[in-house]
Amino acid sequence: MTSTSTAATRPGTGPPKPAPPAREAPLHRRGAVLAVCAVLTALLLVSMLLAIGLGPAAVAPGDTARFLWAALTGGTLPAGDLTAYHIVWEIRTPRVLLAALVGAGLSAIGVAVQAMVRNALADPFVLGISSGASVGAVAVTVTGSLAVLGVHAMSVGAFAGALIASALVYLVSTRSGSLSPLRLVLIGVTVSFGCQAVMSVIVYLAPNSEATSTILYWSMGSFGAANWESLPVVAGAVLLGTALLHRWSRTMDVMALGDETAASLGVGPDHHRRLLLVLASLVTGVMVAASGAISFVGLVMPHLVRLVVGAGHARVLAVAPLAGAVFMVWTDLVARTAVAPRELPLGAITALVGVPVFIALMQRRSYVFGGR
């Protein structure tokens, strides 16, 4: 017995010692995530200040800040500054704010959609939400319906189109009272192609070529129509949607474990998928009405953020909107200055950036959905 006991404790012959618990990655800690958010917030403010001043008629950052302060406080300016003030406050400021809001909203909704269907390739475009919103907005533009709503007509039309497309995807994807994530993605892709076909027919039947060119350009994304009247609607939808997603972050963590595990933990996956689908339709519809269809932001940005802060939805939803806002502000700046006085479509720029980034992410051997 003694020899046996001694042998069992010899080095290399006994049971392995339990490994020490893995230490949490630095950026997964709450303080580190808050630091990242603070850095991104500062970067966003600087980016917005520079973007407002840059353009064909450049305004120095100091003058830009002075004009913004005068507008916010009701201060007075010399008569010689009125033209520059008009460019800064009436034209560029609402455009840059809209770019930041749309970038934040697309990133947040991308996180929600990927959690909803547990698929790394999901975003509002894949589920047909953006395509449905585009059909609604284009139909309102071409037919002139809902004109009584003024600047909000396109938002209402886009939301209605997004909601109809989402309802169709939901109804067809539901089988025996259960909502399958795989069927949701497949039906969403099918509905997306169908909506694009409907939009092509509407564009083809447009009453004049000017309307056709305007719709085609708008469908590829642009912030050229930004104004102070439409901005509050977008801001309200994005801020409300992001706040609700933060509140549901723990639920999305549970949903990511699978339907059976979620049900065993008291979370109804189908019920929460319906809630997320309606919320994604609302926010996406408002954003599409204001900026057109902008691809890849909601697909790529959540992946990049997960690589930095981990897979927890509370952390991702804290960082992704800020990162998306910074990215979209600079994307819009490139779009309106690269070939000035003409503008590049935003969707083309985001695709040119998003495609190689996404391919590079998929080539990482260590990368899985949710990051490592």
Lowest mean pLDDT among 3-17, 120-134, 192-206, 264-278: 3-17
The letter for the amino acid at 283 is V
Instruction: Give the other-Cβ count within 10 Å of 36's Cβ.
Output: 19
What average pLDDT score do residues 50-63 get?
A: 90
How far, in Å, are 41, 89, 208, 303, 317 from residue 26 at the CA level?
A: 20, 41, 58, 18, 18
Q: What percent of the chain has pLDDT over 70?
A: 85
Return mean pLDDT, the chain: 82
Domain ranges across the chain: 93-363
Neighbours of 343 (CB within 10 A): 17
Per CATH, the homologous superfamily of domain 93-363 is ABC transporter involved in vitamin B12 uptake, BtuC (1.10.3470.10)
Residues 145-174 have a mean pLDDT of 81
Q: Quote the pLDDT of residue 371.
A: 43
pLDDT at 210: 64
Picking from 20-24, 129-133, 303-307, 335-339, which range would have the lowest pLDDT averaged per residue? 20-24
Evaluated on CA atoms 129, 214, 229, 104, the torsion sign reads: positive
Question: At residue 241, does pLDDT exceed 50?
Answer: yes
Q: Examine the pLDDT at 230 and tell me if it is beyond 70.
A: yes
Most confident of 19-33, 209-223, 299-313: 299-313
pLDDT score recorded for residue 69:
92
pLDDT score for 12: 46
Residue 174: phi and psi, rounded to 5, are -80, 130
Neighbouring CB atoms inside 10 A of 51's CB total 23
For residue 113, give the nearest of 236, 283, 347 by alpha carbon.
283
Could you report the per-residue pLDDT of 140-159, keeping only the tens digit for each? 878 777 777 776 777 788 88
For residue 370, is pLDDT > 50? no
Answer with the residue of higher pLDDT: 84 or 153: 84
pLDDT at 27: 56
What is the 3-class SS of the chain, one letter each residue?
CHHHHHHHCCCCCCCCCCCCCCCCCHHHCHHHHHHHHHHHHHHHHHHHHHHHHCCCCCCCHHHHHHHHHHHHHCCCCCHHHHHHHHHHHHHHHHHHHHHHHHHHHHHHHHHHHHHHHCCCCCCCCCCCHHHHHHHHHHHHHHHCCCHHHHHHHHHHHHHHHHHHHHHHHHHHHEECCEECHHHHHHHHHHHHHHHHHHHHHHHHCCCCHHHHHHHHHHHCCCCCCCCCCCHHHHHHHHHHHHHHHHHCHHHHHHHCCCHHHHHHCCCCHHHHHHHHHHHHHHHHHHHHHHHCCCCCHHHHHHHHHHHHHCCCHHHHHHHHHHHHHHHHHHHHHHHHHCCCCCCCCHHHHHHHHHHHHHHHHHHCCCCCCCCC
Nearest partner of 293 among 142, 116, 161, judged by Cα = 161
Lowest mean pLDDT among 64-68, 90-94, 113-117, 190-194: 113-117
Q: What integer pLDDT is reported at residue 166 of this predicted model?
A: 84
For residue 11, is pLDDT > 50? no
- With cut-offs at 50, 70 and 90, classify the pLDDT of residue 41: very high
Residues in the chain: 372
Question: Over 80: is that where the pLDDT of 14 sits?
Answer: no
The answer on pLDDT for 20 being more than 50 is no
Cis peptide before 341 (omega within 30 of 0): yes
pLDDT at 207 > cutoff 90: no
Q: What is the pTM of this model?
A: 0.83
Identify the pLDDT of residue 176. Answer: 65
- 56-60, 248-252, 259-263, 349-353 — which is least confidently predicted? 259-263
With bands split at pLDDT 50, 70 and 90, how would you rate the model's confidence at 6?
A: very low
Q: Which of 35-44, 60-69, 87-96, 139-148 has the lowest mean pLDDT?
A: 139-148
Query: pLDDT tens across 331-346, in order?
Result: 999 999 988 788 888 8
pLDDT for 221 equals 83
Q: Phi/psi at 255 (nearest 5 deg)?
A: -60, -30
What does the pLDDT look like over 85-125, one tens digit per residue?
Answer: 999 999 999 999 999 999 999 999 999 988 887 777 777 77
HSE-CB of 144 using CA atoms within 13 angstroms: 3
Find residue 179's DSSP bridge partners.
174
